[in-house]
């Protein structure tokens, strides 16, 4: 709720057409269920039956079900079931490596999505251990009330929330930030002008999870996933992929040779902004970066153990009023602010110096 209230202070920056929340490193009732995947979604009566049947047939055993204590509010149209179901992996997967488990979870999520896509009977946002996602159309504060976030004791170390969803396309829950894939999440402000070539490039990678794109911002999450998980690059190269340096700037980098090759090979993933991206990775690292024109706001501020990455300063003030404000970080075009897991350390990685 704290995050939503902070979001509310930035009300002038969103149009209240929707809100999404993705939480990671959960506490409360999820504390003891860290190793088990959580399926977050929305279903109709019929859809829920279909989900249960599918999961059972495929060997997933439900361990725990959480549902928000929904309170009707005028601005939000209620659907049948909002849920986060915790499952045990199928037996044949219990001893498999995490990467194989991740692929199974993603395939399952995609299959469920396909099953309910046409009649909107099944909408699934994430299926991953220790990650919960809630999304609904409406004003963020009302949506938060609707989900009962002000009453429910659900807690998480990382909470991503974004109000407003992509307005270029039809209002669709799948277009609602933050986006999530296999442990990687991101949300963005701004519009992605290079959306179509990036989408075409991602979709032609042969990776089944690169679909959807109801929002032009979903590609940021998938580029993050592709860069770090698929290509195995350290996180800060995400910045080099989406906002590559000029040739002369690159020459000063100690890893110039690699960065030069990357820029060519990943040319199609260069964003042109204007965008500010906030994201997290499976280990709990959070980051904020700007595109090379730095036309969007973004600020990181807080105290050891608690940092807020927000579009606007007023949001940080609301979330963490007691902090050294002069130490707030406003990342510029070469910067990537990286907050280590557990918010222990914040560092600014400068792209020019590498």
Chain positions contacting other proteins, by CB under 8 A: 167-168, 190-191, 193-197, 200-201, 204-206, 231-234, 237, 243-244, 246-247, 254-255, 257-259, 261-262, 264-268, 270, 272-274, 292-293, 295, 354
- The answer to whether the CB of 132 falls within 8 A of the CB of 30 is yes
| N-terminal to C-terminal alpha carbon distance within the chain | 37
CB of 201 to other proteins, least distance (A): 7
DSSP code at position 342: G
- Residue closer to other proteins, measured from CB, 32 or 234: 234
- Residue closer to other proteins, measured from CB, 15 or 80: 15
CB of 145 to other proteins, least distance (A): 28
- Residue closer to other proteins, measured from CB, 31 or 255: 255
| β strands within 100-190, DSSP E | 122-129, 131-136, 156-163, 179-181, 184-190
CB of 55 to other proteins, least distance (A): 32
- Residue closer to other proteins, measured from CB, 246 or 322: 246
CA 11: distance to chain centroid? Answer: 20
Q: Render the burial of 262-272: b for 16+ CB within 10 Å, e for the rest.
A: bbeebeebbbb
- Residue closer to other proteins, measured from CB, 44 or 350: 350
- The answer to whether the CB of 42 falls within 8 A of the CB of 6 is no
Q: How far apart are CA 109 and CA 125, in angstroms?
A: 8
- Residue closer to other proteins, measured from CB, 24 or 236: 236
- Residue closer to other proteins, measured from CB, 295 or 303: 295
Phi/psi for 18 (5° steps) reads 170, 165
CB of 164 to other proteins, least distance (A): 11
CB of 71 to other proteins, least distance (A): 32
Q: How far apart are CA 210 and CA 331, in angstroms?
A: 29
Q: How far apart are CA 223 and CA 192, in angstroms?
A: 13
| β strands within 267-345, DSSP E | 275-280, 286-290, 299-303, 306-310, 335-339
- Residue closer to other proteins, measured from CB, 82 or 210: 210
CB of 258 to other proteins, least distance (A): 4
CB of 261 to other proteins, least distance (A): 5
CB of 173 to other proteins, least distance (A): 20
Q: Which of 195, 94, 73, 92 minimizes the C-alpha distance to 136?
A: 73
Q: How far apart are CA 334 and CA 170, in angstroms?
A: 34
């Amino acid at each position: 709720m704290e995050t939503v209230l902070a979001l509310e202070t930035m009300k002038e920056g969103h149009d209240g057409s929707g809100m999404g929340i993705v939480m990671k490193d959960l506490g409360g009732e999820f504390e003891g269920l860290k190793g088990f995947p959580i399926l977050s979604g929305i279903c109709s009566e019929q859809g829920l039956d279909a989900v249960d049947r599918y999961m059972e047939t495929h060997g997933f055993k439900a361990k725990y079900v959480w549902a928000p204590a929904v309170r009707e509010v005028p601005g939000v149209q209620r659907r049948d079931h909002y849920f986060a179901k915790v499952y045990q992996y199928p037996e044949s997967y219990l001893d498999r490596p995490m990467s194989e488990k991740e692929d199974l979870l993603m395939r399952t999520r995609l299959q469920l999505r396909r099953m309910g896509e046409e009649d909107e009977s099944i909408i699934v946002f994430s299926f991953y251990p220790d990650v919960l996602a809630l999304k609904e159309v409406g004003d963020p504060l009302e949506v938060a009330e609707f989900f009962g976030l002000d009453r429910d004791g659900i807690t998480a170390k990382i909470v991503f929330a974004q109000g407003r969803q992509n307005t270029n396309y039809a209002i669709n829950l799948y277009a609602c930030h933050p986006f999530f894939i296999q442990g990687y999440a991101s949300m963005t402000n701004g519009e992605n002008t290079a959306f179509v070539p990036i989408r075409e490039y991602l979709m032609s990678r042969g990776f089944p999870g690169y679909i959807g794109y109801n929002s032009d911002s979903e590609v940021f999450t998938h580029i993050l996933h592709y860069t770090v998980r698929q290509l195995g690059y350290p996180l800060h190269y995400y910045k080099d992929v989406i906002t590559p340096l000029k040739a002369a700037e690159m020459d000063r980098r100690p890893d110039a040779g690699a960065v030069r090759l990357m820029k060519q090979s990943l040319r199609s993933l260069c964003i042109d902004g204007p965008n500010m991206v906030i994201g997290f990775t499976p280990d709990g690292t959070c980051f904020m970066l700007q595109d090379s024109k730095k036309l969007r706001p973004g600020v990181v501020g807080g105290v050891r153990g608690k940092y807020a990455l927000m579009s606007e300063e007023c949001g940080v003030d609301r979330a963490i009023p007691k902090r050294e404000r002069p130490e707030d970080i406003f990342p510029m075009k070469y910067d990537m602010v990286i907050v280590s897991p557990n918010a222990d350390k914040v560092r600014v990685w400068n792209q020019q110096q590498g």
